[in-house]
Structures are given as structure tokens and as C-alpha cells.
Amino acid sequence: MIDLQYHLDGTMLASGGLTDADLAQLAAPLTQARDQVLADAKVWSTGGPASAGRDASPDETGPLDAGFHYLPNRLLEELAEKGDASEVARIGAAADRLAGAVDKVVLLGIGGSYMGARAILEACCHPYYNEVAPTLRQGRPAIYFEGNNVDNDAVQGLLDLLASETGGWGIVVISKSGGTLETAASLRIFLRELAESVTDPSELGQFVLPVTGASGKLFDLAHALGCPDVFSVPDGVGGRFSILSAVGLLPAAMMGLDIQKLLEGAAAMNEHFKTASFEENIVLRYVAAGHAMEEKQGADIRILSTWGKRLEAVGLWYDQLLAESIGKQEKGAMPLTIVNTRDLHSRGQQHQEGKRDKYITNLIVESSDREPLAIGESENNQDQLNELAEKTLPEILSAALAGTNQAYRDDQRPTADLVLPKLDEGRLGQLLQMLMLATVTEGRLLGINPYGQPGVEAYKQNMNAILRG
């Protein structure tokens, strides 16, 4: 059962928004798109395109990487069947092994190979995870992200940090292709430093946890280093859809999170997507509203407005997911994540009075983990806050959200609300799976293959040609 909710109240406006009829007319095409998404997924639950007698490139515009869809179900089934020998259990054991041996982990990866881990960390861990005493992060290692750029000073800054503190460190390196230059170059540099810092360089591989494809340069290097645990990105699971494979699960386990709950949340969303009618289906209605706003109102900038601080990285992960999946054939809405109330003070003006090309979805967490903190009384009432002394930070955030929605409604600027009752592994699993399913469903609705990223190849080839002369 899912408990995420999606409310379209602020979208159903007299002008500037949609009517019930606008959504209703998408019921048939979207139900058809869902059927295609389910059929694509079935190919991967029965052994992949070859065994299903299907071409891996059904529309000749890219791969059919629909393996992400039932991956949570497959991993959970395998866990129930095989217990300690299952991939989920092995991921947990490998994460515990490295976490027990080091204080810090450098996670190397770019795009879909790191954004999910960062999203999970920011959503589910202590807000100052790396800085707090280890007891406040269950004794798990601090985690630093690199290999997601080629910034000379940033890399050396991290090396300074690693060298200046006592306690060992290790590497999690993630690259499906195993050949991405940013990640590979960083790995070479960090391995060199790690070899200097370990007592016995022949044991270097013990401190490196690779996640990669079933073959390739990183795969070969991992074996040459003698890494005891190497995890694979399963066939049919593309980078930005890989968050619920070892790509996201291994870092999540390293953070001490409950990875089974993440998978259960995703599996519940799969069931909802497959069985709920168009009227009840939050994935289909989310796609319908975004698509109809673009078609009818020309709103091709989709703002994911996160409230509070913890979902920014989930938003950035989603920006990448939507942009790389749908931004093809000169189509595709422009995703943009903002964080409120912070960005009301930097972008709010434009959203209230700028071009009517934006559609805002609020991403709301209903309850905070910690006790609500009140403003409180003070002898120094120069700020005149004593009359609000009883008000808590969650109440102020709610008032800001209600006030913003009202201001947009008064100006005929549509908004929708996507609500999580709480932010934990189960709800995050629901949300991540919902956004991945929505993205591929929209791709099928638009006639765009959501998998692959042919446009990114040009820069890679040019960069390599320039470097190799």
C-alpha cells in the first residue's frame, strides 16, 4: 500500500490551469502508455529482450532499459528465497565490512552513478551527517562525493582533508560503463593516495568497493586490485534508473539505512501503478497534469518545489532523470528543483509575476522527525516575535506553503501538491519509483524512448579526441 498523496487542487483553475476534461481526455492515451511500460518491464522480468524475442531497440532510438521497473520486486523475492546469499544481504555485508574498517568513504561516480546516493543521504540521514559525532550517524563512515567533475582544487581539497585526519578511508567507485573519464581519472588519483595510506599496499583492494557492469575497464581493474566484493549494475538498468540497484543500495547500506524498506516502498508503488485506475493512479495523474499544462498552457518549465531542506538532492536526481530521459527530439519539459522557503527569496518574484511558462509541483513532507521547535518567549522583544512565541518551525513552514499556494492561486498560477506523510526509507522508495515510472510513462506518451542518452556521447567523444590528440 502506498501512502504518498497527490493533490491537483491548485491546478484546476478557471484560467491558467486545467479542467477535469483536460485530464479525462488523457485517460485513454495514458492507460495505453502504461500498458507499454508494463510490457517493456515484462521483457526484463522474463530474462531480457533476447529471450522474449524482442529487439533491445524497439524504436531504433536507443536501448530498452526497462529492467529498473521490477528490480525492487526481484531483489525482495531473492532476499526472501536466499537470505544471506541474496544480493541485498551481500550488499549489507559488504557495506558493514568497509564501514567497520574506515571512518570515511569517498564515493566516486557521476550522473546516475552518484546522484541517487546523494539524494538518499540528504533525505534520510542526519542533516550534518559528515560533521556530527559518529554516534549521531550510527557509527557509519562520513561520505564524500568526487569523480563527478574534474575540478583540480576540489579534488586536492578532499585529499587535504583525508590526509589531515586520523582514521582510515576507503573508496566506493560506481560506473556502469566503467569507462567514464571523470570517474576513472579520479579513481586513479584516489587509489594512488589510498595506497600511500594503507599499512599493507597489497591489501588495497579490501578498501575499494566497485559497482560496475558485467565487463569493462573498471570491472577488470577491480579484479586486478583483488577487491573482495564487486557489485554489478544489472543488465537493462540504465544509470539514472539505477538508484534501487547496488548503485544506490550500497551507499545507502553504508549510511546505515534500511535498504529493504527502500525496496518495499518501490514495490508498493509498482503495484499501485499497475493496478490503480486512471482516476486513482498518482503516477498517471502526475504525468497527465504535467503534460496537459504543457500542451494547453505552454508551461514547459516544471518546477519541483521542495519544502524544507532534505529533498533538494532528490530534486536534482529527478532533474537529471527527466532531462536526460525526455529531453530528446527537440521535445521535453525543462525540470527545475527549488528549495523553499529559501528560494522564495531568490526565485519567488519570477514565479509569481514572470512568464506564464511554469508549472509548480510542491513536494511536501507532512511531519518532521524531531519534536517541533517553538520560537519561544524572549525579554528582548525588539523583533516582536513574542506574539508568535508558541509557533513552531513546522507551523511556520506550513503557513509559508499555504500562503504561497494562495498567492499563486489568486494570480491564476497553477500548483499541485505531492505529499509524503513522513520522510523515511519506505516513503523515499515510493517517491523514487513513482518519479521513474512517471518519466518512462511520459516518454511513451510522447513517443520518445526514455532510455539512453545519445546526446551526451558527442561531448565525450570530442573530449577524448582532444585529450588523445
Residues that are catalytic? 324, 345, 460
The answer for residues whose C-beta is within 8 angstroms of residue 183's C-beta and 6 or more apart is 108, 109, 110, 113, 147, 148, 173, 174, 175, 218
Closest listed residue to residue 144, CA positions, set 116, 167, 114, 124:
114
When asked if residue 453 is in the footprint of ligand PA5 (CB under 6 A), the reply is yes
Give the residues across from 396 on adjacent strands. Answer: none
Please, which residue, 180 or 306, has the CB nearer to ligand PA5? 180
When asked if residue 435 is in the footprint of ligand PA5 (CB under 6 A), the reply is no
Min dist. Cβ of residue 300 to ligand PA5 (A): 22
Among the residue ranges 92-100, 106-114, 416-424, 432-440, the one whose residues contact ligand PA5 (CB under 6 A):
106-114
Among 183, 362, 405, 449, binds ligand PA5 (CB under 6 A): 183
Among 34, 137, 240, 427, binds ligand PA5 (CB under 6 A): 240
Min dist. Cβ of residue 213 to ligand PA5 (A): 8
Encoded amino acid at 390, one letter: E
Among the residue ranges 149-157, 173-181, 199-207, 388-396, the one whose residues contact ligand PA5 (CB under 6 A):
173-181
Q: Which residue is nearest to ligand PA5 (CB)?
A: 239
When asked if residue 66 is in the footprint of ligand PA5 (CB under 6 A), the reply is no
Please, which residue, 143 or 322, has the CB nearer to ligand PA5? 322
Please, which residue, 10 or 210, has the CB nearer to ligand PA5? 210
Encoded amino acid at 421, one letter: P
What's the CA dihedral at 355, 311, 372, 397 to 10 degrees? 0
Instruction: Name the grid cell of 458.
Output: 558527442
Work out the end-to-end distance of the chain between its first and last CA atoms, rounded to an integer number of angstroms.
56
**What ranges make up the beta strands (E) of 61-141?**
104-108
When asked if residue 147 is in the footprint of ligand PA5 (CB under 6 A), the reply is no
Among the residue ranges 200-208, 232-240, 261-269, 347-355, the one whose residues contact ligand PA5 (CB under 6 A):
232-240
Give the residues across from 364 on adjacent strands. Answer: 419
Among 10, 92, 170, 238, binds ligand PA5 (CB under 6 A): 238
Min dist. Cβ of residue 376 to ligand PA5 (A): 46
Q: Give CA–CA dist 74/70, Å, rounded.
A: 6
Min dist. Cβ of residue 33 to ligand PA5 (A): 21
Neighbours of 453 (CB within 10 A): 18
Neighbours of 386 (CB within 10 A): 14
Instruction: Name the grid cell of 467.
Output: 585529450
Among positions 306-365, residues that touch ligand PA5 (CB under 6 A) are 324
Measure CA 180 to chain center.
Answer: 20
The answer for residues whose C-beta is within 8 angstroms of residue 77's C-beta and 6 or more apart is none
Among 34, 69, 118, 176, binds ligand PA5 (CB under 6 A): 176
Q: Give CA–CA dist 7/77, Å, rounded.
A: 33
Instruction: Using only the alpha carbons of the chain, give its radius of gyration.
Output: 23
Neighbours of 274 (CB within 10 A): 15
When asked if residue 239 is in the footprint of ligand PA5 (CB under 6 A), the reply is yes
Q: Give CA–CA dist 294/417, Å, rounded.
A: 18
Please, which residue, 22 or 65, has the CB nearer to ligand PA5? 65
Min dist. Cβ of residue 189 to ligand PA5 (A): 16
Min dist. Cβ of residue 216 to ligand PA5 (A): 9
Min dist. Cβ of residue 242 to ligand PA5 (A): 7
Please, which residue, 122 or 324, has the CB nearer to ligand PA5? 324
When asked if residue 112 is in the footprint of ligand PA5 (CB under 6 A), the reply is yes
Contact 282, 416 (CB under 8 A): no
Min dist. Cβ of residue 211 to ligand PA5 (A): 9
When asked if residue 146 is in the footprint of ligand PA5 (CB under 6 A), the reply is no
When asked if residue 148 is in the footprint of ligand PA5 (CB under 6 A), the reply is no
Closest listed residue to residue 348, CA positions, set 410, 409, 407, 399:
407
| CA 175 to each of CA 117, 179, 222, 425, 438: distance values in angstroms, whole numbers, following the listed order | 13, 7, 12, 24, 25
Q: Give CA–CA dist 295/289, Å, rounded.
A: 10
Q: Give CA–CA dist 132/312, Å, rounded.
A: 20
Please, which residue, 108 or 259, has the CB nearer to ligand PA5? 108
Residues that bind ligand PA5 (rule: CB under 6 A) add up to a total of 14
When asked if residue 177 is in the footprint of ligand PA5 (CB under 6 A), the reply is yes
Please, which residue, 18 or 440, has the CB nearer to ligand PA5? 440
Neighbours of 297 (CB within 10 A): 21
Among 11, 113, 245, 305, binds ligand PA5 (CB under 6 A): 113
Contact 260, 75 (CB under 8 A): no
Please, which residue, 111 or 205, has the CB nearer to ligand PA5? 111
Q: Which residues bind ligand PA5 (CB under 6 A)?
A: 110-113, 175-177, 180, 183, 238-240, 324, 453
